[in-house]
Amino acid sequence: MNDRPSIWNGMFNTWDEAASAAALESKETLQAFDTSRWMERQESMLSSARSGVSPRFTNLPLLVGAIGARSVVDLGGGSGWTFELVSHSNSAALDRYTVIEQKTSVDAFSLSFITDDRVEFVASEKNSVGQLDSVDILYSNSSLQYFPDNGFLAQLVFACTPDWILLDDIQIALGGEFFSMQHYYGAEIPCRFFDVNSMVEEIRNLGYELKGNWEYPASIGGVLEPTLGGRVDTKHDIGTPRSLLFEAV
């Protein structure tokens, strides 16, 4: 158990409850992923990756090398920094790397790859995700918890029919799925904690078999206290974040 102050606040039964509480707490603060602080962080991560230093852990370069992947869709890929790490780690460069991000990030970072036609940025707010080509890997690192459910993930699976799905840094709830808020420099972000068994079953129903389930090496952990309502529990344990790997059946 981690005794550091939690970056999360409150426990809620639904996404809507968590989102309403986050909006109330944030008041007039910009949505966290639109702030200059977030953009500066992503720019720094891209610069670090381009120098060959990983700004956070990712299993993607290992998987790309292991299966000889040539194409990736990266859900929540930020500034595209993971593409740079894959390129540094593998002698056979990817042919196609698609970053799915919200429009503010697309506008901010697509120009960073203007001379590299292998990299494409697609805004998640647009219907263009349905026009994606098939890929070897669908990847996500620490982004699915910011979606209310797995509906958008399922859309991507149907659109790009990946051979493999790799999900890094899945936040785990030990007592069943719940929702909370994450502190981010004055803004509160609604977020989701996953029940692993339910998550695996949902992706199995999309036509994929679980091939790996291991610890993601960036544990925060801790205990949440419902200071802003929601559940009646006095606390809820958070498990070690996980990485999940699936292969198409």
- Tell me, what amino acid is at 91? S
**Residue 177: CA count within 13 A, CB half-sphere:** 17
Domain enclosing residue 102, as ranges: 8-248
pLDDT tens digits, residue range 204-222? Answer: 999 999 999 999 986 555 5
196 within a domain of the structure (yes/no): yes
Q: Which pLDDT score is estimated for 232?
A: 45
> Which region holds residue 56: left if phi is over 0, alpha if psi is between -120 and 50, else beta?
beta
Q: What is the mean pLDDT of residues 222-234?
A: 56
Report the share of the chain in percent with pLDDT over 70: 87
Domain for residue 185, yes or no? yes
1 within domain boundaries:
no
Name the pLDDT band for 136 (thresholds 50, 70, 90). Answer: very high
Residue 1 has pLDDT above 60, yes or no: no
Per the domain annotation, does 3 fall within a domain?
A: no
CATH number (domain holding residue 209): 3.40.50.150
- Whether 38 maps to a domain, the answer reads yes
∠56-174-167 over CA atoms, to 5°? 35
Residue 162 inside a domain? The answer is: yes
Decide if pLDDT at 183 tops 90.
Answer: no
Average pLDDT of span 181-208: 92
In a domain, 81, yes or no: yes
Alpha helices in 58-177 (DSSP H): 60-67, 81-89, 103-109, 151-160
What is the C-alpha to C-alpha distance for residues 48 and 79, in angstroms, rounded to an integer?
Answer: 11
Q: How many domains, in total, are found in the chain?
A: 1
Q: Return d(Cα 87, Cα 81) in angstroms, integer.
A: 10
| Count of residues in the chain | 249
pLDDT of residue 229: 53
| Dihedrals phi, psi of 91, to nearest 5 degrees | -70, -30
Residue with the bigger pLDDT between 224 and 212: it is 212
Question: Would you say residue 2 lies in a domain?
Answer: no
DSSP codes, 14-66:
SHHHHHHHHHHHHTTPPPGGGSHHHHHHHHHHHHHHHTT--SS--SHHHHHHH
